[in-house]
Structure 1
Amino acid sequence: MNLIDRLKRFLAQSTPSGNPEDAVNRSELEQEAKGPPNGIERRQSDRRCARDGTRALIIDDSATVTAALARMLLQNRYQLDTAADAETGLAKIAANPPEIIFLDIVLPGMNGFEALRRIRRDEATRAIPVIMMSGNEQATEQFYAQRIGADDFMKKPFSRFEVFARVEKLLDAEAVPRRPGAAA
């Protein structure tokens, strides 16, 4: 249950004093609002964001995952494109290369590993940072993804905090996503 739903539920409850704040367990709500495990309130920590208009491509066959990730990126002023399979995603990359790619591993037809191999083999696309995603809990997927050239890996479901923390690690001095060690 997210923070808003929990607040609505608590505020809707009748309380002996008539004051809805009495029904709210503040420590529980504060703990839920925290993003990083180190206990720093996520809104109080400095976060570097990609520059407005950063071009991103989401390649995922799940409409739910695509919609959630798209909402996060659009709220942060990304230009966004999506593809439900690797073949369509690769065609979109060739037509209009994005600055960052979010790539699912399990896709219909060609899987994300093969799509990543093709991205890395092509001179025109090998420098694009790729964050791979999977709902599988196997650490072997993460290891294999990074071994064949993924820049990061996110396990589904992921939080807004996790998405932007991973993007932030890939930003250069001009707030453009870059592969580590890639020339600007």
Structure 2
Amino acid sequence: MKKVLLIEDDEKLSLALRLRLAHMNFQVHSVSDAIRAMDEAVKSNPDVVLLDINLPGGDGFMVAERLRRHHATMSTPIIFITASERSELENRASQVPRSFFLQKPFDALQLHDTMEACECL
């Protein structure tokens, strides 16, 4: 069973995503802030990271930078998720190697297609 690390501070969205990902046969590990994200990534060794950009304790780009510097997570696909409509965020996310982008709100099909695109299914 593949593992996903969900880093999302919105409790309702986090619950919905955990249920959807479990239905997609992922083992889900989750944290709600940037501070605990790296520790959980190293501990859980995920196959993919779903990463909110706006987080307590730092932003998703800071977390992504740390993930890319650590040997255990340097090639792990990252799917950035955000409710912000600022186009520069998607541009900035595209600069991160092996990254993908989902604009909130997104549906199950968009999530599935993005997981497929990053070869996580």
State the TM-score, normalized to the length of structure 1. 0.63
Q: Distance in 1 between matches of 2:30 and 2:98?
A: 19
Aligned to 1:126: 74
Q: Count residues in correspondence.
A: 121
Q: How does 1:28-177 map to 2 (within 5 A)?
A: 53-149=1-97, 151-171=99-119, 177=120
Which of structure 1's runs of 4+ aligned residues deviate more than 6 A? none
Percent identity over paired residues: 26
Amino acid of the structure 1 residue aligned with 2:106: F
Q: Distance in 2 between matches of 1:61 and 1:132?
A: 13
Q: CA deviation at 1:148?
A: 2.9
How far does the alpha carbon of each residue in 1:68-99 deviate from its partner, in whole angstroms, 9 at most, with x for none? Answer: 11111111221011000012121111112100
Q: CA deviation at 1:116?
A: 0.3
Answer whether contact 2:33 2:56 (CA < 8 A) is retained: yes
Gaps of 5+ in 2: none
Q: CA deviation at 1:149?
A: 3.1
- Aligned Cα RMSD in Å? 1.3
Q: Distance in 2 between matches of 1:149 and 1:113?
A: 12
Deviates more, 1:140-149 or 1:96-105: 140-149
How far does the alpha carbon of each residue in 1:14-72 deviate from its partner, in whole angstroms, 9 at most, with x for none? Answer: xxxxxxxxxxxxxxxxxxxxxxxxxxxxxxxxxxxxxxx11001001001111111111
- Point out the structure with max Rg over C-alpha: 1
Amino acid of the structure 2 residue aligned with 1:88: R
Higher RCO, Cα 8 Å, sep 6+: 2
Answer whether contact 1:103 1:112 (CA < 8 A) is retained: yes
Answer whether contact 1:117 1:149 (CA < 8 A) is retained: no
Q: Distance in 2 between matches of 1:161 and 1:119?
A: 27
Change over 3 Å in CA distance of 1:162–1:84 after alignment to 2: same
State the TM-score, normalized to the length of structure 2. 0.94
Q: CA deviation at 1:150?
A: 5.3
Gaps of 5+ in 1: 1-52, 172-176, 179-184
Larger strand percent? 2
Q: Distance in 2 between matches of 1:70 and 1:116?
A: 20
